[in-house]
Amino acid sequence: MSVLRRLIPGKRDMLGTIGAGILLFVALGAVLAPMIAPYDPTAISLLDRMQPPMWLEGGSLAHPLGTDNLGRDMLSRVIYGSRISLAVGVAAVIVGAAIGSTIGIVAGYFGGWVDSILSVVINAQLSFPFILLAIFILSTFGGGFWPVVLVLALGAWVNYARVVRGTVMSVRTQDYVHAAISVGVPTLRLLRTTVLPNTLSPIIVVASFSMAQAILAEAALSFLGVGVDGANPSWGVMLNDGRAYLQTAWWLTAMPGLAIAITVLGGNLCGDWLQDRFNPRIGN
């Protein structure tokens, strides 16, 4: 009976599958945008401006999700907007994971004054409101794709550092690490071949949640006007463009907002599932 129960997917497995399906769907839309988007997302058609979605009076199949204040097709802009939002999220995760994991490995393995200094830096970072820091940096030095990625990575690296530090502190007490040290394995090689592989599971879990947070943060920064270049459609830029028309054209903010919500939901469902896989005693 116990064997049969193991063959039945659990609730987390089904939700994880749904989350992975959402992310795959969004990613495919981003990659295939030039082929599936019905219009150029930047093409202006003032004669078609402010058309409602097709299910409302005055809408049409030509523009299923309606048009914005410049007559640009909302469906095309939502599809193309996924490219910027996902690219920012993935790039921020990669940069943040690289920085945070390196610092966490160094702090956890060497301990002592190195760990004390890095722990103070981590706690100082966590005590400062990230969104205020991001707005200050981007307002001072200007926005754009890579500035936003670096700022988001600056806010995310502490999560990786804390988790990896704790994992490494546990790994370094294992017998196989002591055995490697006793036979003279160089420290750098030991960290790369023995310690780092044991930190990949928590890094993947943190990354799944961090990407969802990065997409939300990018949307917030672009909504405030300090994010990516407004000439390129992103979900945050679309929210910013539509806020002046909330009373008369709600779909200008509802469509990109729904896209953000669905994508973040997919990332969080995947994160919950991965956490359950790698830490089965948590959250059952």
For residues 52-64, give the mean pLDDT. Answer: 88
Q: Tokens 């909302």: give the residue.
A: 74
282 pLDDT tier (thresholds 50, 70, 90): very low
- Domains of the chain (ranges, CATH numbers): 77-278 (1.10.3720.10)
Positive or negative, the CA dihedral 198, 202, 205, 210 is negative
> Could you tell me what percent of the chain has a pLDDT over 90?
16
Q: What is the average pLDDT score of the chain?
A: 83
Name the packing angle between helices 145-171 and 74-110 (round to 10°): 40
Q: pLDDT (tens digit, 9 = 90+) per residue, 240-279?
A: 888 888 888 898 999 999 999 999 898 888 888 877 776 5
Name the packing angle between helices 235-242 and 200-223 (round to 10°): 30
Phi, psi angles (nearest 5°) of residue 42:
-105, 0
Cα separation of 160 and 219, whole Å? 22
Report pLDDT for 284: 38
Q: pLDDT (tens digit, 9 = 90+) per residue, 187-218?
A: 888 888 888 888 888 888 888 888 888 888 88
For residues 130-156, give the mean pLDDT. Answer: 86
Q: pLDDT (tens digit, 9 = 90+) per residue, 159-180?
A: 898 888 888 888 888 887 888 8
- 171 token code pair: 């790994």
